[in-house]
Structures are given as C-alpha cells and as structure tokens.
Structure 1
C-alpha cells in the first residue's frame, strides 16, 4: 500500500496526492503561502505596470536581496538575481575571456547543463577543459581535494566546481577546494544549485570568486529565482546575458553591476520578490528554524539511504559527512530510463534514476524534504527490489 506524505507538512504544498514525490531536488516545490504572495505581486504588476516596473521594482528588489543576502551571509551589494543557477554559470563563463593555452578545470560530477556551458566557451576560445575524476564510491572528502589539486597546472585559469553534486548528492569540501585554488591564483566559479537551504552558507567565508545558487529548490521559492554572487573587484567584468538599458545608464547612485542585472527588459520579477516569504515560511515551520529544518532533512536523507542500502544489500557510496538532503544508492546495471518509468507507472513513485558514469550504470537519488517520511523510502525500497528482480529474470 502506498504510504502518504507527512500530512502535517504536505498540506502546504500542491503536490499530487497520488504520487510518492521523492524528487524535491529536481525543481523544488513551492508552498501554497509563497505562491499566494507571488500572485499578489503579479496582480500588483498588472494593475499598474508602469508604476510597478518603473518606480516600485528597484526598492522591492533591494528589500528581497537584503533578506537573501542575510540568509547566505553575504553583502547585498555583491548579489544579483538570476532565473536559475545555470544562467548564473553561463553569465560568468560568457563574460570572461579565455585564450587557447588556458585550461578550465572541472570534475566528472559537474551538472550536465553547466558542463555544456563550459565546453561551449572553451570551444569558442580554444581553451581546454580538464576534468578531475572524483571516485564514487568515495571514502573521504580528502579524495576530492586530491583529485582536483592533481589536475591543476600553470595554465589553469578557472575552476568550475559543484558545492552539492546534482547527480550524486555529494557535499564537496568547497571551502578547502577554493582555498587550494586561490593560493595558486586560480579563480573559482561554484555551482551551488542545491546548497541554499540544505547546508548553512557564508559566501565570504567560502571565498569563491563567483557563486551561484537556486532559491526555487530547497528554499522553496517560485520557479525562476536564483542568485549570482560576484566578488566586488570582479563585478565590472561580469555582464548579464541580456544587455539592456543599464549598460549606458548615467546614474551614479548604484553600481553598474546592479543597474545591468536588475533591469534586463520587461520581465516578471515576482519569483525574486517572493524569496523573502519563502525563507520566512520554511524557517518558521519548526521551533529551531532553518538549522533544525536542515538537520532534520539531512537525518531523513541518511535514514532513506540506510533503508535502501539494506534492502538492496549494498554499501553506502560515501561517508555520512558528505550528505545533506540528497543521497544516492548504486543499482545493478540496466536501463535507467526504463526503471524510472516503471517506478512511476507501476508504483506512483517520482524519483530519479541517474546514469553514472553513463551507459548502463545507475544510481537512485532520493531527496528529503519536510513532507517526506521514512515509510515512503521503505515503499521505494520494496518497489526497487521487485523491479530489479523482474529485470534479472
């Protein structure tokens, strides 16, 4: 029998009741109260578009950015809103200029869309993409550091690194990696798509040159809300993908960085403006606020992994310290698409089966949000055992 989500919390989301939703990490899910606030902003925009966009928006963005900056431990002057982390990665990569002898360092865990952006700029400039192979299974974060450092050369110009890997859910030792690279004069671009809302953040402490993260995933803001952080001394180099009025604005009361990013042309800013409500709402669900929510989700992810590993008779592929709100478990070789479709069609389970490192190798990746229960993970384990047995004949 299919278990229900935790009713104390699932009532705040619009998720389909007949689907066991274990894939919050893909696109997030926005709570009803946050969507209501977004709709209020949209109505305000439509009631008086000129006043809203030309007069009110700048102050509203500043207020939303202030709340977000406090959450990620940054100065709001160093943050701009972007629609998603992939846009943030593209924005930085396409603003920088590389030479044919340059090397752009990344890992085999990098998110496919962002790896495509790296390959694009490398092909355009003649630079070389160098890939550090981080093993899975992995025994310690030190193996990540060793793998990345081993690929550094005098030609390394930039490193694109995940904070939390989308494919494998690994929390990378990002502060140590940034320190190793910075000591060698190498800039760092951090893909933090899954970090905000799953691990505590202090962007200046991390020390990355550039950092981008999503608000629509674990902060549960509406779709199309993310941020880009750029160190103050690099902001003049970073231009938005859309060049608009800010490029030649005569204003001197705001940085060119804000003038360009805050006005890309006519758009719907309601997702950005709803970020403070999302932070407040999720942070108010438990007595301990965000720290308790993040700890609770992490504990749930570890419990889910334990259930799956025991049912499938496999070992955890990484130490507990490398887990936040996502966890993966290895599966026998086979078609990842077919298995994911069978889980949904036969059992009503929405969970990603991830190809790793490609071909017929597979991982099951579970997400842990407050509305999920251990009974749901047990149900997934039972379904996997049956489907894998059927595959094996």
Structure 2
C-alpha cells in the first residue's frame, strides 16, 4: 500500500489507515512542537505570560483567524470547541413559552441536546425540519426548512456540514431566507473551516461557531465563536468572569467577557496562526488547492466504494466537501446503543483490518452509512483497502 509523503507531517500510527480526520482532526507535528514551546514559555513565568503577554498573543491569533475566515476580528472570540459555542449562544438568549426553535433532523446530537435542554427550561418548542433523504438537493433543503418557519420561530440552529451524513448544506441561501423572515441563524460549523471556503462577512449569520482542531489542524481545544455586532450585547460565555464588570473602555464587552473566562491552557488558540501557515505551505496553491484536492479525493473515494458495494451516491457532488457518506447494505448485526462509534462493523474494521472509519446508524438501525474523510495524508490505495475489507466483512 502506498503511503502519502504528506503523512510524514503527522504523527499518526503507521499501522493504522486513518480515514476519520473529520471526527477529531489530527495536528501536524510542527504545530505540536510550537505548542510545546509555548507551554514551556508559559510555565517558565506564568505571571509574565498571562499578565503581560497573553492579551497581545491572543489578538495576533484572532487577527490571523479572522483574515482566514474573512471576518472582522472584533466579532470573533475563541472558545474551546464548537459545542461550547453553541451552548454559549443558546444559554445567553431568552425564550418564552410558545416560542419555536427550528432545527433539522440532521442536527449534531450534542447541539440538539443543548437546544432541547434550553427549550425545556423556557417552555419553548423545538421544531424539526425533515431534510430530503436520500437524494437531497440544495433547493429541496431550503424548501424543507422554510416550510417549518412560522411567526413564532425565534432561532434556527443548523449544521454547516452535517456530522451523520456529511452534507454541505446551502447555508448562504438558508441564512438569507431566514433573516428575510426575521429569524436569526445559529450555525454549528464544526466541520466547515478548512474543509470548504468560508466568508463570515458574506454569510452574515447571527451566530457562527466552528472548530479549529478539525480541518484547520490546530491543537485540540481551539475553536471560535463569531457574533454579528448588534447581537453581541446579549451574549455571555459559559463561565462569567472578570470581564463582566471590567471598567476598560478600549475593548468591547464581548471581547472582555470571552477573552478571559478563568485560568486555562490558551496554547491551542495561540497555535492557530501556525496551523494555518503550516497547511497553507503544503501545496503550491495554498488553502484553495488543499480544499480542492481533498474534495476531489473524497468524491473519488465515494465513487469507488459505491461501485464496489453496488450502491448509489446519496447526494450531488456539490453537497460534498472533504467527507462523504456511503450507504451500507442492511443485515449486518444490529449495533449496540449509542455511542454510534462502537458499531460492530467499525470494530471489526479496526481490529481485523487496521482501518479507522466511522459507521453511523442513519436514519436508524439497521440502515447504516460509512463516513469517510479525505485529508492530504490519505491515498487512493487506502480507500481501495477499505473497499476490499468491506467486501470481505459484508459477505
């Protein structure tokens, strides 16, 4: 089996075919080295670091990330992960009995749980739009969502790229259509930054939170929350700290609140600029070439698996990013209760064939989908090996 020369940039186990970058990402060794140096610098003089250096370093990281996302740095704050960003927004807003909180049936489980919990405490109702599946189209997705909007709809929670089905949703059209109806959108963009081109300035969603540890390949614990300026006043982080009553006038309350929520390891966020530069330099065309390469690889892998398993692709190419799902034949042993990543077929792929790839019960068992990821370190022969393993196991 051929090994990608890019794999040398990551410390992935050499005996594992890793086709699951979308789950937790993987951080290049060069970025981890910078993080180690930052941690050593911090621990050498914690007072110097946090009191005299931290704010300036954080501003530099924020500016670099804002440039990549085409956003105003003033509207951007770091959080630990996208789930924290979703919770910060949902738990800051106020809802009343009779209010409707709209989402889709493809929403990520953790974010859906947060939505359900907030609704249960306020008496609001969660309304679920069923997206067309299989064979969705961008227009059909927009139509399905707008059909569930009523005068009581207060917020729309949506994945930019769905976790279970890896669909790149028509976010620009959804945000614009919802705003025209007076409804703000909270985007769970956990997978999107670095997987698809993203301009937060153009999108103009009310709230957008995304991970930096997945496709941007920063260390775990780096994520962001972007809030449109006129909506920032009502937002608070999950931990309210010193910024709440700070007398400073040189910074917005939004940044004072979110930039310091208590002592924690800030090095994941501070490594974001280095992660952006590291990935940008891996291909001559930089980030656009990297995203295009991963997209083409994901499409080719999906085509290969569909042909070998005798199934049809479930969505058009335009709704695929650097991940893709493939339907699996029914009849394999029923998976245990959640977490879904302990599917028996997934366990056999890793234990017998040393292939790491998630199998997801969707829409519900025994229906199942495989979700593959495509990163620079993956090769076509790895997907061929996956196809051969699946043929053997499913027989």
Q: TM-score range by the shorter chain?
A: over 0.9
Contact 1:5/1:20 (CA < 8 Å) preserved in 2? no
Q: Which residue of 1 aligns with 2:340?
A: none
Find the partner of 2:282 among 282, 285, 302: 285
Q: How big is each residue's C-alpha offset from its partner over 1:222-243, in whole Å with a ceiling of 9 and x where there is no partner? A: 0000000000011110100001
**Partner-residue secondary structure (3-state), 1:129:** strand
Query: Shift in Å at residue 139 of structure 1?
Result: 4.0
Query: Shift in Å at residue 137 of structure 1?
Result: 1.3
1:183-202 to 2 correspondence within 5 Å?
183-202=180-199
Structure 2: runs of 5 or more not aligned: 336-342
1:332-351 to 2 correspondence within 5 Å?
332-333=329-330, 334=332, 335-336=334-335, 337-351=343-357
Find the partner of 1:315 among 312, 315, 326: 312
Query: Shift in Å at residue 4 of structure 1?
Result: 4.7
Q: Which residue of 2 aligns with 1:363?
A: 369
Q: Which residue of 2 aligns with 1:375?
A: 381
Structure 2: distance between partners of 1:139 and 1:201: 22
Cα RMSD over matched residues?
Answer: 0.8
Structure 2: distance between partners of 1:285 and 1:30: 14
Q: Which residue of 1 aligns with 2:338?
A: none
Matched residue count: 386
Q: How big is each residue's C-alpha offset from its partner over 1:296-326, in whole Å with a ceiling of 9 and x where there is no partner? A: 0000000000010000000100000000000
Q: Which residue of 1 aligns with 2:339?
A: none
**Partner-residue secondary structure (3-state), 1:168:** coil
Find the partner of 1:25 among 16, 22, 46: 22
Find the partner of 2:228 among 226, 231, 234: 231
Find the partner of 2:261 among 259, 264, 267: 264
Q: Which residue of 2 aligns with 1:299?
A: 296
Q: Which residue of 1 aligns with 2:78?
A: 81
TM-score, normalising length from structure 1? 0.97
Structure 2: distance between partners of 1:318 and 1:350: 23
Off by >2 Å, runs of 4+ in structure 1: 333-336
Q: How big is each residue's C-alpha offset from its partner over 1:144-184, in whole Å with a ceiling of 9 and x where there is no partner? A: 00110010011100000111111111100000000110000
Structure 2: distance between partners of 1:56 and 1:235: 26
Structure 1: distance between partners of 2:137 and 2:366: 26
Q: Which residue of 2 aligns with 1:146?
A: 143
TM-score, normalising length from structure 2? 0.97
Query: Shift in Å at residue 332 of structure 1?
Result: 1.8
Structure 1: distance between partners of 2:104 and 2:216: 26
